Amino acid sequence: MDIKQHLRIDRAHQRISTDIPCRAGLPAGERSAARILNLSAGGLKLSCRRDAFYSMVPEDQRTPGRVVDVMIEVEFELQPSGQPASGVQTQATIIHSERLAQDEFHIGVQFIGMDEETSRLLNSYIGEHTSTPG
């Protein structure tokens, strides 16, 4: 595997570090509590417990690394400056997973089918939280 691809040095979207509570799960399933660790216009990384990870990732794909053809829904709130909090509910495809500890997993997802209004909200939020060089 190409190390540049593995480390995602060539990301298409700028990411911001976050700590946003969310709920995530399979489209027809229950949502589990998780936390968004970083966010971009194209996707996010979330941290979750083992039970949440097991409810979203099929048994045959639980080895850390690339995950194929698993769609989830993610729900969270964003509050750009001077605006009321807005709920975001979007579909995403799991593309990567990591096991950090016995009961801590990270899941990287790519958004799919995000509507224009949600995309604008997300870009506004990211723009406000992007540090610019002095």
Please name the amino acid found at residue 72: I
Locate 39 and state its tokens.
């966010």
Q: What is the pTM of this model?
A: 0.85
> pLDDT (tens digit, 9 = 90+) per residue, 2-55?
434 444 444 566 889 999 999 999 998 999 999 999 999 999 999 999 999 999
- The helix (run of H) or strand (run of E) holding residue 52 is helix 50-56
